[in-house]
Amino acid sequence: MTLDPVYLEYPRRRHGYDHDLYSWSALHQRAPVQWPQGSVAVWICVSLEWFPIIPGGAFAAPGHMQTAYPDYRHYTARDYGNRVGAWRFLDALAKVGARASFATNAAVAERYPELVRAVLDGGHELIAHSTDMNGTIDSSLAASAERDLISEAMHRIEVASGVRPKGWLSIARSQSFNTLELLKEAGLTYCCDWVNDELPYRFGNGLVDLPLNHELSDRTIIAVQQQSADSWAQSLEDAFDWLTAEAATTGSGRMLPIHVTPYIMGLPYRIAAFERLLQRLGQRSECWFARGDEIVSSWEAQQ
For residue 58, the model assigns a pLDDT of: 67
Q: Which of 86, 80, 122, 123 is nearest to 104 (CA)?
A: 86
- Domains, the chain, ranges and CATH? 35-301 (3.20.20.370)
According to DSSP, the residues that pair with 191 across neighbouring strands are 168, 209
pLDDT at 6 over 80: no
For residue 55, the model assigns a pLDDT of: 76
- Band of the pLDDT at 60, cuts 50, 70, 90? confident
Residue of 7 and 220 predicted with greater confidence: 220
- Band of the pLDDT at 7, cuts 50, 70, 90? low
Cα gap 139→27, rounded to integer Å: 30
For residue 1, the model assigns a pLDDT of: 58
For residue 150, the model assigns a pLDDT of: 98
Q: Is 187 exposed, middle or buried (0-12, 13-18, 19+ CB in 10 A)?
A: exposed
pLDDT in tens, 103-147: 999 999 999 999 999 999 999 999 999 999 899 998 889 999 999
